[in-house]
Amino acid sequence: AQSDGVEFTEAAQEEALLLSHRFLSRLMMPRKVLDLLNQVKIFRDSEETVDERDVITRFHEVHKVPLFLIDPELPLDLLRVRDYFRSVVLGQDQAVDAIVRMIGIIKAGLSDVRRPLGAYLFAGPTGVGKTHIAQKLSEYLLGRPESMVRLNMADYQTDGEAVTLFGDPEAYQLSKRQGLLTQRLLGQSFTVLLLDEFEKCSPVVMDRFMQLVDEGCFINGTGETVSCRSTVIIATTNAGAELYRKSMIGFSEGFSTSQEVEQAVHRRLVDCFRFEFLNRFDEIVYFHALNAKDIRSIAACELKLLQERIGLKRNQIKLQPDRTILDWLAAKGYDPYFGARFLRRTIERFVTPVISEVVNSNQLERGSTLYLAFDDQRVV
């Protein structure tokens, strides 16, 4: 094919069709293929021939889909992917393995084009990494965690909220006929959709999402079919969270193995969600309570993030925590009911003020190391 003196090879046309079909499901054929070829033509205006390499490069630059997913010449080491996610999501190997399997399937081009790229239900207690791993997945796939579309399903507890999300056919404003979900997905050709605390939404809202998970699309209030087949859908739930706590803190009715906990939580999920809805997910992933080692590691990671703040970074001041402060943070900042969610707050209340006093005293030279410990009931 030729356009304005630029010739597209057959391989380039096939690649444009393939990439548009896989990752631009919300746009219409053949418009999305023609738009992509036109973008490539503008990008390679001085070239007479455009091949599939040009299409892949331009698609990556325009739509921000990572090259490692779309370039068949780039290998993907799933062991390295697994190591990365295990380093940023501690103590949840089952969840990491599920994410890595999904990434491998997307890379291989084996995703079912009739459904979302992935659909998962993350079940477990609060503060153990369910939302965090979704954010890290968005960052890994899209290069920026803010590209994730996040909905707090506790905001949609009445049946009437379904029209807020999916659109009201009788509304005057176009945005209200489209609904919030369509609005949030606009411009997001390839994204992660996080449905937090899914058990709290109304049955009507839940039924609409069941169609979305099953068919990869929904019909909004304007009558438009909105595709989510280029989307990874993650729903989280705290249903059955008390069962994890019982197994952790030694109730007489506690469980001896993690498998027993998962079986009990699954029964609770069946009580909370209809069985046919649970069957729509590719996988139900069980998050477990964190152990002492995991919590100390999370505390160390939070202190590393603290070191990146401008007051320390511009003076190249390094933080060196010892075991005493990590043990204290793990004990003080972790709660069996709320997980590690209060760890950051504990650091802000007890550690950051101590560091600020030292920095403001001007006693530290550029490039110094600040040692952190816990002694005599205080941070030093």
Residue 341's CATH number? 1.10.8.60
pLDDT at 167 over 80: yes
pLDDT at 99 over 60: yes
Is residue 329, in this structure, part of any structural domain at all?
yes
332 and 212 within one domain: no
333 and 261 within one domain: no
**Position with higher pLDDT, 315 vs 149:** 149
Q: Are 177 and 167 in contact (CB under 8 A)?
A: yes
**Position with higher pLDDT, 380 vs 10:** 10
181 and 163 within one domain: yes
Look at residue 140 in the predicted model and tell me its pLDDT.
92
pLDDT at 271 over 60: yes
Rounded to an integer, the average pLDDT of 282-294 is 87
144 and 50 within one domain: no
**Position with higher pLDDT, 291 vs 298:** 298
Is residue 182, in this structure, part of any structural domain at all?
yes
Is residue 71, in this structure, part of any structural domain at all?
no
Overall number of domains in the chain: 3
The mean pLDDT of the chain is 84
236 and 184 within one domain: yes
Q: How far apart, in whole angstroms, are the C-alpha atoms of residue 166 and residue 181? A: 6
Cα-Cα-Cα-Cα dihedral sign, residues 189, 85, 110, 58: positive
Band of pLDDT at residue 251, cut at 50, 70 and 90: very low
pLDDT at 170 over 50: yes
318 and 264 within one domain: no
58 and 30 within one domain: yes
Band of pLDDT at residue 46, cut at 50, 70 and 90: low
Rounded to an integer, the average pLDDT of 338-366 is 82
Band of pLDDT at residue 347, cut at 50, 70 and 90: confident
pLDDT at 49 over 80: no
Look at residue 101 in the predicted model and tell me its pLDDT.
96
The pair of structure tokens assigned to 244 is 């994890």
Look at residue 295 in the predicted model and tell me its pLDDT.
84
pLDDT at 249 over 50: no
pLDDT at 123 over 80: yes
305 and 240 within one domain: no
Look at residue 63 in the predicted model and tell me its pLDDT.
78
Q: Indicate the range of 22-31, 259-268, 335-344 predicted with least confidence.
A: 22-31
CATH number at residue 44: 1.10.8
Look at residue 5 in the predicted model and tell me its pLDDT.
57
Q: How far apart, in whole angstroms, are the C-alpha atoms of residue 181 and residue 219? A: 11
CATH number at residue 176: 3.40.50.300
Instruction: Calculate what percentage of the chain has a pLDDT beyond 90.
Output: 33
Band of pLDDT at residue 233, cut at 50, 70 and 90: very high
319 and 247 within one domain: no
Rounded to an integer, the average pLDDT of 104-111 is 91
Q: How far apart, in whole angstroms, are the C-alpha atoms of residue 314 and residue 63? A: 34
Band of pLDDT at residue 16, cut at 50, 70 and 90: confident
Is residue 175, in this structure, part of any structural domain at all?
yes
Q: Which domain holds residue 316?
A: 292-379
CB neighbours of 15 closer than 8 A, spacing ≥ 6?
A: 52, 55, 56
Is residue 68, in this structure, part of any structural domain at all?
no
274 and 146 within one domain: yes
Is residue 339, in this structure, part of any structural domain at all?
yes
269 and 138 within one domain: yes
Q: Indicate the range of 196-200, 354-358, 364-368 predicted with least confidence.
A: 364-368
Is residue 257, in this structure, part of any structural domain at all?
yes
Q: Indicate the range of 195-199, 247-251, 323-327 predicted with least confidence.
A: 247-251
pLDDT at 31 over 70: no
| Entry pTM | 0.85
Among residues 264, 286, 308, the one where a domain terminates is 286
SS (H, E, C) the chain: CEECCEEECHHHHHHHHHHHHHHCCCCCCCHHHHHHHHHHHHHCCCCCEECHHHHHHHHHHHHCCCHHHHCCCCCCCHHHHHHHHHHHCCCCHHHHHHHHHHHHHHHHCCCCCCCCCEEEEEECCCCCCHHHHHHHHHHHHHCCHHHCEEEEHHHCCCCCHHHHHHCCCCCCCHHHHHCHHHHHHCCCCCEEEEEECHHHCCHHHHHHHHHHHHHCEEECCCCCEEECCCEEEEEEECCCHHHHHHHHHCCCCCCCCHHHHHHHHHHHHHHHCCHHHHCCCCEEEECCCCCHHHHHHHHHHHHHHHHCCHHHHCCCCEEEECHHHHHHHHHHHCECCCECCCHHHHHHHHHHHHHHHHHHCCCCCCCCEEEECEECCEEC
Q: From residue 36, give the alpha-carbon distance in Å to each of 16, 31, 193, 259.
A: 7, 9, 25, 48
Among residues 286, 307, 322, the one where a domain terminates is 286
Q: Are 138 and 147 in contact (CB under 8 A)?
A: yes
46 and 119 within one domain: no
Is residue 73, in this structure, part of any structural domain at all?
no
Among residues 286, 315, 344, the one where a domain terminates is 286
Look at residue 209 in the predicted model and tell me its pLDDT.
93
